[in-house]
Amino acid sequence: MRIEAARASDLAGIRWLLEYEYLPSEDVTEQLLDHFLVCRDEKGVVGAVALEPCGKHVLLRSLVVTAELRGERLGSRLAQAAEVLAERRGSKAIYLLTTTAEKFFAARGYRAVPRTEAPLQIQGSSQFSRLCPSTAVLMVKP
Ligand SMILES: CC(C)(COP(=O)(O)OP(=O)(O)OC[C@H]1O[C@@H](n2cnc3c(N)ncnc32)[C@H](O)[C@@H]1OP(=O)(O)O)[C@@H](O)C(=O)NCCC(=O)NCCS
């Protein structure tokens, strides 16, 4: 299954996947779509991830795989594709917030850091400032 840049027609499918998992979707707009990678099958979007630019930093967010396809490495491949993108953009570190997948990311080289250590641009993102609960763990790689 190929990982590709998202298109306008993927917006509803991405939002549906996120909403189904109770992940923030209200700021997933056409503008943010430019920063999404997706996997599709014949029915539509089955996996997604975004790399949101926050000043000179990047926030990996909205990683989701449809329940039927979990455990087949799609989540790992999406995370890796986002990391390749981050490297191409010259980002030195990738930040993320999670309430559900700390172990998944820890197994992929991310470490938890105090939220107070987030760069200001990351703190200013809608995920950090409004949409993710204050209990969400901040992680960074490397
Ligand atoms: C997290 C998620 C994207 C992983 O997708 P996936 O395609 O199943 O992942 P992979 O097949 O690449 O990896 C599976 C491995 O990760 C582990 N894993 C999957 N989800 C996990 C989670 N939430 N917490 C801890 N470990 C997890 C599996 O146990 C498996 O471990 P193994 O390799 O030791 O057997 C998927 O479970 C998902 O969409 N979850 C709901 C949305 C979510 O929580 N997203 C994270 C937002 S920050």
Looking at residues 102-118, what average pLDDT do you find?
Answer: 97
pTM for the whole thing?
0.96
Distance, CA of 88 to CA of 96 (rounded, Å): 18
All domains of the chain in start order, with CATH: 3-141 (3.40.630.30)
pLDDT digits (tens, 9 = 90+) for 50-67: 999 998 899 999 999 999
* Helix, strand, coil abundance in the chain, percent, nearest 5: 35, 30, 35
Tens digit of each residue's pLDDT (9 = 90 or more) over 2-16: 999 999 999 999 999
Separation of CA 32 and ligand 1 centre (Å): 23
Instruction: Tell me which of 104, 110, 135 to substitute to probe ligand 1's pocket, judged by most ligand atoms within 8 Å of the beta carbon.
Output: 104
